[in-house]
A and B are shown apart, each in its own frame.
Chain A
Amino acid sequence: MLRTYIAIVKVSLKSIFANKSSVVILLFQALIPSIVMFYLWSAIVNGNQTIGGFNKSQLVVYYIGVNFINSFVWYAIDWELNEDIHSGELSNIIHRPLSIHNYYFAKMIGDRLANLLLLAPLLLLGGIYLFVNQLWQISFLVLVEFTISLIFAAILWFLFSYLVGSIAFWFDNLFFVLIVKEVVVNLLAGYYFPLEILPKQITNVVKSLPFQYFSSFPIDVLIQKQKLSFWLSNTIIEICWVVLLYFVMLLVNRKGLQRYSDVMG
């Protein structure tokens, strides 16, 4: 069974590389927002000023980091599921000897690995630049913490988006819902700006939601010299979210498939 899903990962990865245009688009998608955000913040924060505890060089690292995480984590599984449900494409997967959520997960992994491979040279260059210019020092432990957080972020992201996409089992047109979700989640995850720059109370509320684990938390681990206990306690909470969402996902998936099979097939 596992071999099948590994094969799906490969196929998904191969699909990305098969399309040169998608490769180019991907690079632009990763680069342009980082550059825009970087200039925006450079204009606001000058000299030795800090904002939400971030100085200018940390903000640079923040945006590079956020986009790195982005390219590994954020896969539009919700849009894809919505499309597959309404086009009936889902039936092609249902009658295969596969489990639907594992199929989509394998697809996401393949797609994200492709992204990572494509962006690796850029990230490496960026990393070296930061390192050489001594904008950034990092310990091995932090790197390990960060990698683990990245993997959990991908899993949590998958569960969350899969749930959002599952709404399509019950409703016809999700376009508006998905757009709004996109903006809200980006905001709460810390993609637009570090969550720390919000007023304290709001930051506290936002940080008790699962969304911060998509971007904000891994990047904090990477650049804010936090204690191990900070990482550990957050990771335990994150795992709880993963477990919770996993069971909700199984339930919703079962009900959704039942409904799909009752009305659409």
Chain B
Amino acid sequence: MEQTMIDVKNLSKEYLVTNRRDSLKDTLKNIFKPEQTVVEAVKNLSFTVKPGETIGFIGQNGAGKTTTIKMLTGTLFPSSGTCKINGFDPTKRETNFKKSISVVMGNRSQLFPDLTPRDYLSLLQTMYEIDEREFTQTVDNLANTLKISNKLDTQTRKLSLGERMKIEFLAGVVTKPKVLFLDEPTIGLDVIAKRDLRKFLIKLNKDEQLTIFLTSHDMDDIAAICDHLIIINHGEIIWNGLKQDLLAKFGKSKYVTFTKRENFDATNLKAKIVTQDELTITIKVPAGEVENAVAALAANKQGSDYQISDLKLEDIIIELFAKENE
């Protein structure tokens, strides 16, 4: 087995964007001498992923996540740098490469709206040359896990968003890929559907050693599914490591949230303010000093209703970005 499933070296992507001008004269200028600006969407990314890892690829809107996924899956060519997936160069678009990956994008449907999911799935079975009996069994199994068995023969355009997404997932994995790329796959799904999908992915990763590369703005998705996090900001990596390590690094602090009282005075606070509004405030306190800090605040009648909590992944990510963008 390959030692690395995904190997990215100095990967960059620049887009040339033509500035639109409005007047007629400018339109003519646009045609003959377009004014272009360069957008550096991805800058010099390097990282590796081992087989069977679950990657959470995190970044703010416009950070370059989709651009990276497109390069890794071979639909977009890098401006410079290289990537290797399971030993293949995606830009060569070899059939065996295409058969070893799957892509599911939350905002782009790959299903055929006029046909039933079963029609589509059986097309995939032929396309990916998968044994028919084995295929039928996998589909039944997975459809059960996803609680979607009763929708396989409904015309796709009549499915709800969540049902359709489940079929996209099903279609993504029945082809038996080595790597599954997921770009915001849980957009618009209800809590139950999200839970089903997370369970589904975790199970697949365990049972089949499927490598998962996931972007999501829902940190609960990432927390549930991923064990390796790559965080990017404006196209550059700002964190690459195990989720455990990130949590541990920030685990030395806790958040204390309380309701402000009449004596409240922000200048008296020694701790860092995380958020506050008219009535409540959250401060960050080193784990060992929480009791003393709360006692002191209480003694000075600064607040009431104290709540102490660990930093959630989401909090940590917000802090990371805040620090980066200072």
Contact = CB atoms under 8 A, between A and B. Distances in A.
A11 B75 contact: no
Interface of A is mostly: helix
Given A94-B93, A265-B70, A15 B77 contact: no
B166 to A, nearest CB: 18
Interface in A72-121: 88-89, 91-92, 94-98
A94 B75 contact: yes
B127 A7 contact: yes
Interface string B93-136: 10100110101000010101011000110110011100000000
A18 B114 contact: yes
Tell me what chain B mostly uses at the interface: helix, strand, loop, or mixed: mixed
Contacts of A261: 75-77, 91
Contact of B74 (A8, A92, A94): A94
B16 A263 contact: yes
A15 B75 contact: no
Contacts, number: 63
Contacts of A96: 98, 127
Given A7-B123, A18-B155, A262-B77, A97 B95 contact: yes
Given A95-B103, A97-B95, A11 B77 contact: no
Given A4-B127, A18-B155, A95 B75 contact: yes
Contacts of A11: 112, 115, 119-120, 123
A19 B112 CA distance: 12
A97 B67 contact: no
Contact of B123 (A8, A88, A95, A263): A8
A147 B93 CA distance: 37
Interface in A1-37: 3-4, 7-8, 11, 14-15, 18-19
A91 to B, nearest CB: 4
A14 B123 CA distance: 12
Given A4-B126, A18-B115, A92 B155 contact: no
A8 B91 CA distance: 25
Nearest to A17: B114
Contacts of A15: 112, 114-115
A199 to B, nearest CB: 37
A19 B76 contact: no
A232 interface: no
By CB atoms of chain B within 10 A, which of A92, A94, A97, A262 has the most? A97
Nearest to B93: A94
B265 to A, nearest CB: 54
A162 to B, nearest CB: 19
Interface residue tally of chain B, by bracket?
A: 20 to 34
A111 B200 CA distance: 36
A4 B95 CA distance: 13
A260 to B, nearest CB: 8
Given A7-B126, A96-B98, A265 B71 contact: yes
A265 B67 contact: yes
Given A14-B115, A92-B110, A98 B75 contact: no
Contacts of A7: 122-123, 126-127
Interface residues of A, number: 24
A92 B128 CA distance: 15
A205 B230 CA distance: 64
B73 interface: yes
Contacts of B91: 261
Nearest to B107: A88
Contacts of A92: 108, 110
Nearest to A88: B108
Nearest to A15: B114
B15 interface: yes
A264 interface: yes
A123 B240 CA distance: 66
Contacts of A19: 114
Contacts of A264: 76
B101 A14 contact: no
Contacts of A14: 114-115, 119
A261 B75 CA distance: 6
Interface in B76-101: 76-77, 91, 93, 95, 98-99, 101
Contacts of A263: 15-16
Contacts of A89: 108
A97 B67 CA distance: 21
A95 B73 contact: yes
Contacts of B77: 258, 261-262, 265
A97 B114 CA distance: 22
A261 B13 CA distance: 11
B70 A97 contact: no
B283 to A, nearest CB: 44
B263 to A, nearest CB: 58
A92 to B, nearest CB: 5
A97 B112 contact: no
13 contacts: A8-B123, A14-B119, A19-B114, A91-B75, A94-B74, A94-B93, A95-B98, A95-B101, A96-B127, A261-B77, A263-B15, A264-B76, A265-B76
Query: Which 5 A-B residue pairs are closest in the complex by CB-CB distance?
Result: A265-B76, A265-B70, A15-B114, A91-B75, A7-B126
Given A11-B119, A14-B114, A15-B115, 12 more contacts: A3-B126, A4-B126, A4-B127, A7-B122, A11-B112, A11-B115, A11-B120, A91-B108, A94-B75, A94-B93, A98-B127, A265-B67
